[in-house]
Structure 1
Amino acid sequence: MTTAFDTALADFADLLEAGLTARLDANPRPGEIVRPARLLAAMRHAVLAGGKRLRPFLLTEVARLLNPGLTVETLMPAAAAIECLHCYSLVHDDLPAMDDDTLRRGRPTVHVAYDEATAILAGDALLTLAFDLLADPTCYTDPTLRAALVLDLARAGGLGGMVGGQMLDLAAEGRFGDGEAPDEASIRQLQAMKTGALIRAATVMGARLGDGNEQEVRRFGRFGDIIGLAFQLADDLLDVTATESEMGKAVAKDAAHGKGTLVARLGVDAVRAELDRLVTEATDLLAPWGARSETLAATARFVADRRR
């Protein structure tokens, strides 16, 4: 049965797809010379392939909760930016030197559809485009806001965030020696970096775009932390319970790569219990906004209960 939340997420995904398509056309922007056709096609393959669009959805929903007068169109540059950065990370994660995946969202990964060099460059270009969108003064006129958004995304996506988390994940596989298997605290840390940091950035950036005060920015930062952990826990569960056709990508990868996960450490039942607790905590954080926050509460439930 299709719920109101399902409809809202699907409608937003359509809007975002249109926004991303417009930003990935062949027309050079001021300061650009030409947009190479093969590179552009690979970028479009990576970005215009469907997906949950969770991070930009969170950004827009938080912003509009704090400032109901905002439109999705006004928020589209930041929403597109965070999705471009997320998609770049998927392109690079799928490379043979990383996770060596051949399927993503039910389609060949970029390095399979094109080649490794093109995939690397497509990821590089998507990463750069993310910051181009945030820094463009025609999108957000307030320079203080633009700088804050750029910093939020850079810190979440870089050395101490997503990229650093990927490095810790590779180390946890034993890539660089025969170190001890990561303990629970180490697993939580790397997952907070690799997965959670970008989800937290989405909610923090949304709070800034909604003109939230510092207390509200911190509150939605915590909300993002919870959603990020729930997303990774659900992902780990799906890796051991779902099929490849359901996921649109390979499953049972964690065990095959020797990765430590909280599912492996704590067991399926304990992880499901933690997901229930996280949904309750996330919902409690939304209490000041009452019924107006139902879409964000439904997002928390969706993340914890997702089947793909």
Structure 2
Amino acid sequence: MKPGNVTRLSEFLLLGFSEKTELQPIIFGLFLSMYLITVFGNLLIILAITSNFHLHTPMYFFLSNLSFVDICFTSTTIPKMLWNIQTQSKVITYEGCITQIYFLILFAVLDIFLLTVMACDRFVAICHPLHYMVIMNPRLCGLLVLLSWIINILHSSLQSLMMLRLSFCTNLEIPHFFCELNHMVRLACSDTFLNNILMYFAAVLLGGGPFAGIMYSYSKIVSCIRGISSAQGKYKAFSTCASHLSVVSLFYCTMLGVYLSSAASHSAHSSATASVMYTVVTPMLNPFIYSLRNKDMKRALKALFVIPNIFFISF
């Protein structure tokens, strides 16, 4: 590598999905709609849980945290992409790129941790119902969420610091709509061995570990459900974790699909398109999954709109 090929860069170029000018308004409108649905949908979930005393339980405490993380997760990438389309610019600063990587990793893995904690919560609720409130007490629930934040802040900080040690060549084009860690490492001109080791180690430990925990929890849940004698009891037990299982399947399947498709095709464009599934579509669908399949959430959401109407009618 010649010294002249390395620059003290100040910005990158996010190539996005398409170079065609006529497609930009369509892409802008589509992603703006999905972003607004994601934000308002998850905000409604948080408001419904906080305003309804009957939903002040461990399961809904974790769900409100998941909704908050989903809002932050989507807000890490979509506003910048919409701004670039609106201003017809592809530029993102070096500092902005590192910051985006930091928060993207933080909220993505936080999603995984919260889904794992929610699986453990369902395991205790179904397999140890008599001791549920004793085991899943407010102190433990708060500690689990706090521990998830601490671990992921340390992890995302380490990944970001490892990015700062890399040097980049004159090719500063990122074939994506956000600064994705794997693409950034590929652009580097300096030695990326340690960065790759850290990425793979984190993927196994922070991705595979929680997934194994979720699978273990649901294997125990299935065993408990099979031991229930009545069909109504089995249905009631399964319905309490059906929404969570749907979200877990959607999140992991889309994320796995992204990396399998990118590994198979080696196409940056297909990887960017597939990434939309877990960065935008999954957070957008979570509120619908939890509200449509949960009677308590339906009642709480209805109460949000019914009470204001009664208030205004009385005046």
TM-score by length of 2: 0.29
TM-score by length of 1: 0.30
Greater length-normalized contact order (CA 8 Å, ≥ 6 residues apart): 2
**Higher fraction of helix:** 2
